[in-house]
Structure 1
């Protein structure tokens, strides 16, 4: 579990600088109570807690999906396919990936989430800040998709949820600072950080592909052979005796 935690935490910490460019405007304009530092601190924490809760829920959901693939022996193929898909989205021309129609299911989903967020911004209370965080976790985001891809590869509802929660904790220091202190990182710095984001995605994709290949590399590409353990079998001819089959 420690490996899962540090892998996800690192992804969240590095990727959180990308979040400044994507979710920064929303974090800057949160309806925080400015009458005291404690109220502002609590509001920022609740907003980020809502995000992490959503990430955990997504991790559990996709962990269940990964477990289904694992039961049918497709987990490693899934890991390879997800890695290749991430690489494809990195190199594909933007015009292939941009939906121009506002009638698509994706566009309607995005509109509904943003509309609900807009309604919550009129309410200055802790419940609305938590709800904003929950909905913010559902907004389309390449970094979250990458984290979900990593969560699927674990093929376990608990481990996948733990992975996504750890990822959310990794984003917490930067995202909490943005909402509490405001716009403290310059535009040029943000641009440089965002330029490194595709490199991070490519590294994640390669790790997923390696994991699926089962090369026997500890932690990176565990062996796909699960039949190394001896199995005890009972022969009908000699009741009460067992033989170990390797």
Structure 2
């Protein structure tokens, strides 16, 4: 089950690229524009994305570790089953959200706004620092940006009920987003234009929706 969940997280990150561009594309473009040359752009992009992925993994470890502690106390198999179903349903809702037919996850994204209000000023200060190494802590902070795509995968992470497996799920998700975000820093607005095509948004959403349906079928 764990391996298939890693694959699901990776695929979700990959096909959720249009959402990644919408949420993080702006800052990625700014970072790319400030870099003095191609090698600096590459270093900045890797640092920023590495920071993001580390934060995702930490969040996954925290969520799954918390569920692990609770399940060890109560010895409840029902809770894990409910979480697995919830994770599958969240993937379906995420797929619908990515198609832009219905912004079903907007209320979910609002859940993290309180934390983000505290983090954003620090992230903004790092954005003003132009040294390539500043992209790593910037990515670490930006990884806590409220995002339905991230929260959907955190549900999948929680269903692992193991802190290491939970971190692995979020790491896999982060790696799925990595290639697109790397390209965003390197190519800037050119990639934004491509990713904004309606057919790509609908297609990627349908792929994630199908993945959620597959997860439901495996649970039956």
Normalised to the residue count of structure 1, the TM-score between the two structures is: 0.71
What is the distance in 1 between the residues matched to 2:105 and 2:8? 31
Asked whether the equivalents of residues 87 and 202 of structure 1 are also in contact (C-alpha less than 8 Å), the reply is yes
Matches within 5 A, 1:1-246: 2-30=3-31, 34-67=35-68, 68-69=70-71, 71-73=75-77, 74-84=79-89, 106-185=112-191, 187=193, 189-192=195-198, 193-211=200-218, 213=219, 215=220
Cα deviation digits, residues 152-180 of structure 1 (max 9, x gap):
22222111111111111111111011112
Asked whether the equivalents of residues 18 and 190 of structure 1 are also in contact (C-alpha less than 8 Å), the reply is no
Q: How many pairs were matched up?
A: 209
What is the distance in 1 between the residues matched to 2:8 and 2:87? 17
Higher Cα radius of gyration? 1
Gaps of 5+ in 1: 216-246
What is the distance in 1 between the residues matched to 2:41 and 2:105? 42
What is the distance in 1 between the residues matched to 2:41 and 2:103? 39
- Name the CA shift for 1:136/1:186 in 2 (closer, same or farther; >3 Å): closer
- Name the CA shift for 1:4/1:129 in 2 (closer, same or farther; >3 Å): same
Gaps of 5+ in 2: none
Instruction: Give, in angstroms, the shift of residue 130 of structure 1.
Output: 0.7
